[in-house]
Structure 1
């Protein structure tokens, strides 16, 4: 159950932003081109995640990206990694906080409560922070419950929407070029890359076998792919490419289900909120561990850095949900693709002082897989400059 819970943390971290951003970003390409793009990005991010899991299992201290970088890439590598890590988590935390505030505001309006997005996401962040500070076992249990509820909601939504699927909608697509597809790869890449929680999860499962670590990563990566495909199929099949392409935020996506039943709109809203919360838990856990490892061992100070500072930044970048995911995608190339690649090349050298842990994991594929991973990172990197 501990490993299963870890897979759900990995999957939940990926699912939050992706579930909400993917229909708005990919609808213009139609279902089939979007599905192909998602599958390619799934392969690249999954292998990069396995590389980082290998690095964590072979490094003496691997509670955060900071310590892994220090023991493999040296002090300069650690500083560069820390800067990128904080930039990434800042973008993700801001995106999730904005999304949660928007959702809470729209959902409470339905029951006659006018709570501003700022007040909503502030209360949410400070309360969730207490769970994260309490420890990973509490995060695991809460996330497990929320994730199972979220998947149940997803099945309810998809089953309801399947009754009104128009197959003609699936083959629709707007006018686009290959450049357009590559351009949006960074946002989709961000929706799959939950690599930031791997150091925390490998540390949490330090007694696991190499096969169990591999399976934890594979299950945690496959779940988002299946959910994304089913969600995109249901949304495009119901609403059509043109309608979905016009949405600018989460509230508009949910409001589009007004034409369906009121209950369905409520279920979509709750499902979207759960998707964001599970992502927020994973990202805040990674940021808290990073702060404890790299900045301060004081829990109160780490709490302020992890949960209060992002709140201030969120007020400065309101209405920038998709933009924050785009920025995060750029940073993730260095941190989640090329970073693990450089670290694994180092730990595979014969003179590297391996961890005394007997269960060290090695990702398969050899040199060709490492070259392919570098090229995948280059594709995502180039896509960011096509906007």
Structure 2
């Protein structure tokens, strides 16, 4: 087994598995598990295909490149400027949200240990320490992420083992709302939960010896893991609580408290899971921004470290208690960056020549399947998501 490729798939999965996972039952439960599952599968297919388009553009641009260089080679200077603007806006928003969330968790942890830290001090401490891990390189992130992801899977498994025996079939079959417009609005939450594409250029750089088929499988495996985690969590939570209860919760803390009524250990388990999910997401997103800055500015690691973390940290300090608001801005940016930009890159590299017939050694240059029809469907998928964000 290629441990680097396995670790890369886990980085993709860890980037996707943010703390927003816990909110999925609250937004989907009222529409019934059938429609909730179908919508989640639709979002997964659309985002995974768009990620494969980005993989194709990365490979055909020469590999070992950040989004900055890929955009310059495929879309020209104008496209490079737009892509960089979208990417920086997205990554900074996400890092701000993760620093806010992680700082809050760190403050609660230190308070429990008798160490008093202000919210600002906790955010700075987390950013500085986690930033050193990111600056150490993708290899260090890979090894640490494997341990964190293993711990996160253990926490999720403990959650499922605790909740599954208490599943009520009546809750699973309940449908609280037939409002399909409201269902479509939940697409924005689900789409953000699969927002892993930003790490693909970094992982292509990290795996120069991998075949193109292995890189494709890396992306698919990395996207399948969060899909199953989301579905298992959705079914377990919905089975233990009625749709009316789930819809009535104002935040994730209330959901955790309700599940903990009959299961005393649940609050600790889900709190640990939330912390791990925030950390793995932070590492993936920060890695993408660090590599983007290294590609764009060509500075040493110390300068790149400052460029990567100073703006998100200042933004987090100024936007304290705005975790969900910051994530909502990131969702709209992500639609353009994760769907339309990879599509434009792929159309350009395919237009420049019939790359599917070119070979490198004995291996055909990778091309995402589906042809023009798949590209058209991907465009419609992006329009659907944009509508869901703005509806």
- Name the counterpart of 2:376: 371
Shift of 1:61: 5.2
Aligned pairs (5 A) from 1:271-286: 271-286=273-288
State the distance in 2 between where 1:191 and 1:40 align: 13
Aligned pairs (5 A) from 1:153-168: 153-168=155-170
- Name the counterpart of 2:187: 185
Q: Does 1:226 align with 2:256?
A: no
Q: Does 1:383 align with 2:388?
A: yes
Shift of 1:129: 0.6
Q: Does 1:259 align with 2:264?
A: no
**2:19 touches 2:274 (CA, 8 Å); kept in 1?**
no
- Name the counterpart of 2:76: 74
Name whichever of 182-191 and 40-49 sits farther off.
182-191
Aligned pairs (5 A) from 1:55-66: 55-60=57-62, 62-66=64-68
SS at match of 1:60: coil
State the distance in 2 between where 1:119 and 1:246 align: 34
Shift of 1:291: 1.1
- Name the counterpart of 1:322: 324
**1:63 touches 1:199 (CA, 8 Å); kept in 2?**
yes
SS at match of 1:208: coil
**2:256 touches 2:266 (CA, 8 Å); kept in 1?**
no
- Name the counterpart of 2:200: 198
SS at match of 2:18: helix
Name whichever of 141-150 and 293-302 sits farther off.
293-302
Deviation readout 1:106-139 (Å, 9 max, x if unpaired): 4555666664443333212211110110111100
- Change in 2 beyond 3 A, CA 1:224/1:262: same
- Change in 2 beyond 3 A, CA 1:195/1:330: same
Shift of 1:96: 1.6
- Name the counterpart of 1:312: 314
State the distance in 1 between where 2:251 and 2:310 align: 24
Deviation readout 1:27-79 (Å, 9 max, x if unpaired): 33333322111110000000001111111111125421111000000011000
Shift of 1:234: 1.4
Shift of 1:176: 5.2
State the distance in 2 between where 1:353 and 1:363 align: 11
From 87, 90, 108, the equivalent of 1:88 is 90
Alpha carbon RMSD of aligned pairs, Å?
2.2
- Change in 2 beyond 3 A, CA 1:137/1:33: same
- Change in 2 beyond 3 A, CA 1:98/1:110: same
Name whichever of 120-129 and 216-225 sits farther off.
120-129
- Change in 2 beyond 3 A, CA 1:115/1:34: farther
- Name the counterpart of 1:48: 50
- Change in 2 beyond 3 A, CA 1:223/1:33: same
Name whichever of 244-253 and 129-138 sits farther off.
244-253
Q: Please, what TM-score do these two structures have when normalized by structure 1?
A: 0.93
State the distance in 2 between where 1:91 and 1:356 align: 40
- Change in 2 beyond 3 A, CA 1:315/1:328: same
Shift of 1:254: 3.0
- Change in 2 beyond 3 A, CA 1:106/1:177: farther
SS at match of 2:321: coil
Q: How many positions carry a matched residue from both structures?
A: 386
Q: Does 1:14 align with 2:19?
A: no
From 93, 106, 121, the equivalent of 1:119 is 121
State the distance in 1 between where 2:323 and 2:360 align: 41
**1:153 touches 1:271 (CA, 8 Å); kept in 2?**
yes
Shift of 1:222: 0.5
In structure 2, the gaps of 5 or more residues are none
Aligned pairs (5 A) from 1:100-179: 100-107=102-109, 115-175=117-177, 177-179=179-181
- Name the counterpart of 2:35: 33
In structure 1, the gaps of 5 or more residues are none
State the distance in 2 between where 1:140 and 1:79 align: 30
SS at match of 1:181: helix
Name whichever of 63-72 and 317-326 sits farther off.
317-326
